[in-house]
Structures are given as C-alpha cells and as structure tokens.
Amino acid sequence: MRVAFVGKGGSGKTTLSALFARYAASRGGSVVAVDADINQHLGMALGMEDGALPRPMGSHLTEIKEYLRGDNPRISSASAMVKTTPPGRGSRLLHLDEGDDPIHSRFAVTTPEGPRLMVTGPFDEDDLGVACYHSKVGAVELYLNHLIDGAGEYVVVDMTAGADSFASGLFTRFDMTFLVAEPTRQGVGVYRQYRDYAADYGVPIAVVGNKVHGPGDVAFLRDEVGDDLLVCLEHSAAIRAMEQGRPFTLRDLEPANALALGRLLDRLDAQEKDWARFGDQAALFHLRNAKAWANRATGEDLAAQIDPGFVFGPTRVSLSG
Ligand SMILES: Nc1ncnc2c1ncn2[C@@H]1O[C@H](COP(=O)(O)OP(=O)(O)OP(=O)(O)O)[C@@H](O)[C@H]1O
Ligand SMILES: [Mg+2]
C-alpha cells in the first residue's frame, strides 16, 4: 500500500511520514519511506545521521531507467524513458517482500526503527528552478509505477509542500493520501485545493489534524473539513524534544498520538487497491507528458511505449499480441 503525506509547509508532513513509517514497521510491516521533498529532512526524522543517508535516486535516473526497462521492446533506450513511461511486458517490476533487487539494494538504507529510506536527493544550488525538482521526483514516479505492492507492505512518501505536489501525475500513484492540516484557516485552505483536485481523479484522501491543542482545535477542523477528518495528533512534547536533539523512539510518543497513528494504519489497510485506476492513470499522464514535452525532448512518439497487453497488479496477465 502506498501513502503520501501532503499539506501546507510546516504542517508536519515530514514528522508524520516518519512517525507513521516507524509505526507501520513496529506492527510488522515491510516499510519503505521515501523523501520526495525539496528540503530533505525525512532521514533525520527517522533517526538517521546525516552521513548515513542513501544514494540519491534523483542523481541516478539513467541507472534506474536502465534497470526498470529490462528488455521491454517498447522502450528503445534509457534516454527514451521518461518519468511517466509505464511498465510493459519485459519491464522489471519491483517488490518489497522479495530479496533485494538492485534498486532497493543500491538506493535504500535501513533506519534505526526498521523502515528503509530512499531519497530523491537535495535540490542543489545550481539546479535550474522547479523543473529540476520535478525531474528528480520523477525517480519516485518511476519507482511507484514499477512497484507491485500488497497488504502489509507500505511505501510512505513525504511530499513537497502545498499544491506543487499535484503538479505531475505523481499524486495519483497512491492508495491513500493523508493531508496534514494544522487547525488554522491556512491549514485547511490547502485541503480545499487538494480535495477538488483529488476528487477529479478518484484519489482517496483523508485529513490528519496536527499540532492540535484541545477540543476547540478538533471542533474547528471538524467544522471545516467534515467527515474527511480522520484523526488528530496532539501537539507533542516528545516530538519537540526530538527536534531539540534528544534521542527518540516510538515508545517516547504520547499514547494518544500513538493511537492516532494506529488509526492511520487501519485506514490505509482498509483501502482497497484499485490497480485498474492505477493503470489507466499511468497511461493518461504518460500521454499528457508525451504531448507536453517528452515527444519533443526524445524525438520519439512515446505513446507507443504504452503496452496494451500489460496489466498492472500482482498477477500479470499477458494477452497475446
Ligand atoms: N504533533 C506535533 N507536535 C509538536 N511539534 C510538531 C508536531 N508535528 C510537527 N511538529 C513540528 O513542526 C515543525 C514542522 O514539522 P515538519 O517539518 O514535519 O513539517 P513539514 O510539513 O514537513 O514542513 P516542510 O513543508 O518545511 O517540509 C517541526 O519543527 C516539527 O517538529
Ligand atoms: Mg517536510
């Protein structure tokens, strides 16, 4: 199951992604946490030392593409593979439960409480604006497009702030999106934007209230977002202490906040996988991307990369032709 944490800058996406990843791992899940934000803080929130961070996926796109395309005859070379190029027959697919494949073994490291961590990599000073961020995050889109995940397996993605997270098709690659909202008007403003966009694409979202100080805050969120409010995390002294550099494990978290993490996991587990939507939207966003720039950039008609005989999901049914 894949879940994205989105929301306004500073709302707590990174903190909650890390706590949720730790929690899912503590419940026996196989967990990969992915830092897809411009500012890379997820490793720290998972208790990693700076020097122990994994190799950044965004700086090794060619290597990743070379592996994933396998011997798919529709993809002529790694350079003709763009972030939206969907898998087809011959592509290499990724699994969380099987022994290491070269993607996980080269780009993931195990963090102290169990989740593995993958990162897009920092946004360098010489990077050319947002375009570069989108190309780095393309590594995550490719990863998710080629991943066959199931129950008890979790990919947790810490996304970039605000509406930027739905600038590409990436926001459709999740089973569930948790929108982190502080109990403020700005906090719920991002929710409204996201809700309308998500609804257009059948993307399930739920709101997670964060840094809540009491019943008044919960009531505010309930009034503003109604039934989309799944659960609230309280303002946490344990999280604050972690930010101050004190050692932290999940056991230090307040019981009410740990219970809230349990609600998030239950909600994600209850979500039914929709591989058909996933496949349809992979094709849709690839065609859009091809028209917008990728055909021009590669000099090929990338619509031909879509393999009509490929079925997304755990049982690949190959049609003839
Ligand atoms: N429940 C909480 N209790 C106390 N502090 C919190 C809580 N959630 C988040 N914080 C603090 O709020 C600040 C912002 O959190 P965080 O970095 O997770 O937000 P973010 O949405 O990822 O921000 P950005 O948009 O910059 O990536 C951090 O200092 C974090 O420790
Ligand atoms: Mg963050």
Quickly state the pLDDT bin for 321 (edges 50, 70, 90).
Answer: very low
The 3-class secondary structure across the chain, one letter per residue, is CEEEEEECCCCCHHHHHHHHHHHHHHCCCEEEEEECCCCCCHHHHCCCCHHHCCCCHHHCHHHHHHHHHCCCCCCCCHHHCCCCCCCCCCCCCECCCCCCCHHHHHHCEECCCCCEEEECCCCCCCCCHHHHHHHHHHHHHHHHHCECCCCCEEEEEECCCHHHHHCCHHHHCCCEEEEEECCCHHHHHHHHHHHHHHHHCCCCEEEEEEEECCHHHHHHHHHHHHHHEEEEEECCHHHHHHHCCCCCCHHHCCHHHHHHHHHHHHHHHHCCCCHHHHHHHHHHHHHHHHHHHHHHHHCCCHHHHCCCCCCCCCCCCCCCC
- Ligand 1 atom closest to the Cα of residue 39 is 27
Pocket test for ligand 1, best of 5, 8, 14, 233 (most atoms within 8 A of CB): 14
pLDDT at residue 270 is higher than 80 = yes
- Please state the rounded mean pLDDT for residues 53-64: 95
- Average pLDDT, integer, range 216-221: 98
* pLDDT greater than 90 at residue 318: no
pLDDT category at 120 given cuts 50, 70, 90 is: very high
Q: Could you tell me which residues come within 8 angstroms of residue 79 by beta carbon, excluding any fewer than 6 positions away?
A: 62, 298
Whether 83 and 305 have beta carbons less than 8 Å apart is answered as no
Tens of pLDDT, residues 228-260: 999 999 999 999 999 999 999 999 999 999 999
CB 223 near ligand 1, within 6 Å = no
pLDDT at position 160: 81
Residue 164 has pLDDT above 80, yes or no: no
Low-confidence winner among 5-9, 17-21, 120-124, 178-182 (lowest mean pLDDT):
120-124
Distance 38 CA to ligand 1 centre (A): 15
In this predicted model, what pLDDT tens digit does every residue of 87-103 receive, in sequence order? 999 999 999 986 789 99
- Whether the predicted pLDDT of 1 surpasses 80: yes
- Residue 317: pLDDT over 60: no
Atom 9 of ligand 1 has which residue's CA nearest to it? Answer: 12
180: CA distance to ligand 2 center in Å?
11
**Under a CB-based contact definition with an 8 Å cutoff, are residues 313 and 146 in contact?**
no
pLDDT at 135: 77
Atom of ligand 1 nearest to the CA of 243: 31
Tell me, using a 6 A CB cutoff, whether residue 213 lines ligand 1: no
